[in-house]
Every structure is written in C-alpha cells, then in structure tokens.
Structure 1
Amino acid sequence: MADHEALQAFSPAVRDWFASSFPAPTAPQIQGWPHITAGEHTLICAPTGSGKTLASFLSSIDRLTNTPRPDERSHRTRVLYISPLRALAFDIEKNLRAPLKGIEFAAERLGEGFTAPEVGMRTGDTPSSDRQKLIRRPPDLLITTPESLYLMCTSAARETLVGVETVI
C-alpha cells in the first residue's frame, strides 16, 4: 500500500494534519490502519519510536472529532487507553494534545466540523474529587492503568464504561 493510500480512510482534517506533521506514515501505521479502521482487533508489535501509539489512536481521534458526543452519560467514554505505567499514562495524555489541536486547526482551515474530544485520566494518584467528576461527566477518551480500571469496574464508575468502542 502506498503511503498516501494509508491515510485515505481518515477525514480530510486528519489527513491534512498528518501530512503537515510527518513526512510519511511508518510501516506499522501503513500495515495497521486498514485493520484498525475496519474495526478489527489489531496487535502492532514494533520498536519504540515506530509510530505505534499514533497508529492506534488516529482512527479513534478521527471518529471522536467527527461524530457528536452521545447524550447518555453511560455511553460518553468511547475510547479506553490502558497504560501499564502511570508515567506512560501522563506522557500519552500530554502527547495527545498536539494532534487534537492540529486536527482542530486543519478542520477550521478546511471549513469542516470538529468536535473537540475530552480526554480524562484516572490513575492511583487521581484525587477523589476528580474521580467523582469522571463519573458525573465521563470523558470521550479515558487514559487509565490496569489497577485503576479494576477499581472502576468494581464500583459505580463501571457504568461510565458501557459505551467503550475501542480499547488500546
């Protein structure tokens, strides 16, 4: 598959942002995106720095920025990222800001609609008040650790995970 073909499944704003941010998709992205965008279970095994994280997130980001938020609180969180380490969870959250902002700018330039997804994080360090906010107003994309996910699944917070469509 040619580099430009790998991006055809994405919206114009996502394609524009990607083209202005990277010289070309990486091999894991080229090979992974057709399966991910088709909704297939996908495992990408590649070295650090090869674009796995963006390969896994881009389809979800595209979907979140181009579809309205569900009205039902229980279906609001549509993407769940489970990080093995709390430090990695913080890095992922920080590194999502640039693509989200870049895609928003690209959508404005192209005159396309854009829904800014809310990103939330829950780890063992999350204060009780913030955990309650995550239950009252679930984010579109939740970054968490296995331990925190277990605690969510064994509490009233599990109701906010009913609408999860993608697990990374």
Structure 2
Amino acid sequence: MIEYAEQEYSDEEVYSLLAPEVGEWFRRKYGTFTPPQKYAVKEIHDGKNTLISSPTGSGKTLSAFLAAISELLTLAKKGKLEDKIYVL
C-alpha cells in the first residue's frame, strides 16, 4: 500500500526526534531542514518504510541517515547497541 506524506513537520519537531548530539551537529552545520527532511525524518524515525522523491541535493540521503545515526547513538548511550547490522 502506498501512502503519501501529508504533514510537513517544523524544524523544532524534527530536532526533538534526534539525539541531542545529532541535533546540535545538524544545527551547526545546516541550521534548518529541507522540505524533504521535514516530511521524511519522523516517518523514518517511526520505523516506516519510506521512499523520498525530490531533486538531487535536497537532503534525501541525510533524511535517512539522521534518523539512523540518532537511533544508533541513543542505543549506544543506553548500553544497548549490539554488535550486529542495523542499517543497510
């Protein structure tokens, strides 16, 4: 089943999903999220299979990696990061 993202989240809503270290790095490096990131990061964070279609350079890859890196960092800080593959 295909669903289309209908809600664009605010920068602060997206920042609230990220581990503080990831959010701080992103804020220093980029400042604000691109529209594809505002639609996708929460969906990816929530574990939904997500396909992003937008122009080259719009932040698609970073959308996926922000959620993944943030989750890995959170698991590591809790001592729950196992020696296994988490992201392909």
TM-score (norm: length of structure 2)? 0.79
- Counterpart check, 1:19 vs 2:31: no
- Number of equivalences: 76
Q: Point out where structure 1 has 5 or more consecutive residues left out of the alignment.
A: 81-168
Structure 2 partner of 1:45: 53
Divergent runs of 4+, >2 A: none
Q: Please identify which structure carries the higher strand content.
A: 1
Distance of 2:32 and 2:86 partners within structure 1: 28
Question: What letter is aligned with 2:82?
Answer: P
Structure 1 partner of 2:44: 36
- Counterpart check, 1:64 vs 2:72: yes
Identity of aligned residues (%): 38
RMSD over aligned CA atoms reads 1.2
SS of residue paired to 1:39: coil
Q: Mark the structure with the bigger radius of gyration.
A: 1
Deviation sequence 1:86-124 (CA, Å, 0-9, x none): xxxxxxxxxxxxxxxxxxxxxxxxxxxxxxxxxxxxxxx
Question: What letter is aligned with 1:54?
Answer: L
Distance of 1:10 and 1:55 partners within structure 2: 11
Deviation at 1:40, TM superposition (A): 0.6
> 2:19–2:73: 8 Å Cα contact kept in structure 1?
no
Q: Point out where structure 2 has 5 or more consecutive residues left out of the alignment.
A: 1-8
> 2:17–2:45: 8 Å Cα contact kept in structure 1?
yes
Distance of 1:6 and 1:66 partners within structure 2: 16
